[in-house]
Amino acid sequence: MSSLTKGKLYLVPAPLDFGCDVEAPLQDVMPLGTLQIAARLSCWICENAKSTRAYLKRINEIEPLANPVQMLQIQELPREVHKKGDHTGNFDARPLLSAAMEGRDMGLVSEAGMPAIADPGSSVVRAAHDLGLQVMPLTGPMSLMLALAASGLNGQNFAFVGYLPQDAGGRSQRIRELESLALKTGQTQLFIETPYRNAALLQALLQTLQGNTRLALGCGLTMDKGVSRSAQVSSWKRDKPVVPLDLPTVFCIGR
């Protein structure tokens, strides 16, 4: 089949307020061009169909959908992809892209931010390339890049390391490993946690990190209550700043 007859796969960012009590005005955080493309797509791949429909209804208030939400084809990624991730190549996502192979453009969306970045979706992107589909990333908020830019840490050399271990011993060991790497190489280390564990992670960081290590937090970025704070650990301990840890947060450490 000629590539000219195939549809495209659009990577559609979502606002960063997923799961929060107050939603940011969509037009304030999403480019109009992204919303216009999303509004015309009738086939979607997502993490959760319910939240995707809610997002599309928000889009419809600004840019009317080409088709009613109830008429859209929305496919969910399997639950095991959510639990184990799909970046290892073990999940074959090609069957999800049948609509694109038939000539229809499709959208890939995650719960917040850019799909396939700290979220499932990389298997779908790989499959699209393998099938000869054009992959088109759209502009929108990405919490990792926003937090890094606001941290004052090294933006030329950085790594996102996902989640830290939940058990106290393993978490402290991992923190020391990341701190050693950051201080030795200058590479900024970024990681995340589920909001209800953010306070425990911050406490562990302050207990484990050296006083001269710089710690930056980006909490609820793009939201009205959003906060970005960057300081040496010794300053965090001395000043005890109040940050909204109940919001999605990106943690960064470096020198």
Nearest to 248 by CA among 24, 16, 23, 28: 16
Residue 83 has pLDDT above 70, yes or no: no
Both tokens of residue 37?
């493309």
The one-letter amino acid code at 122 reads S
Pairing of strands 214-219, 227-232: antiparallel
How are the residues of the chain apportioned to helix, strand and coil, as percentages rounded to the nearest 5?
40, 20, 40
CA trace torsion 189, 194, 196, 201 (10° rounding): -20
Query: For residue 86, what pLDDT is reported?
Result: 74
Nearest to 147 by CA among 208, 227, 214: 227
Report the 10 Å Cβ neighbour count for 207: 12
| Domains of the chain from N-terminus onward | 3-137 (3.40.1010.10), 143-254 (3.30.950.10)
Average pLDDT over residues 103-112: 96
CA distance 126 to 102: 18
Query: For residue 2, what pLDDT is reported?
Result: 47
Query: For residue 79, what pLDDT is reported?
Result: 82
31-58 residue pLDDT tens: 999 999 999 999 999 999 999 999 999 9
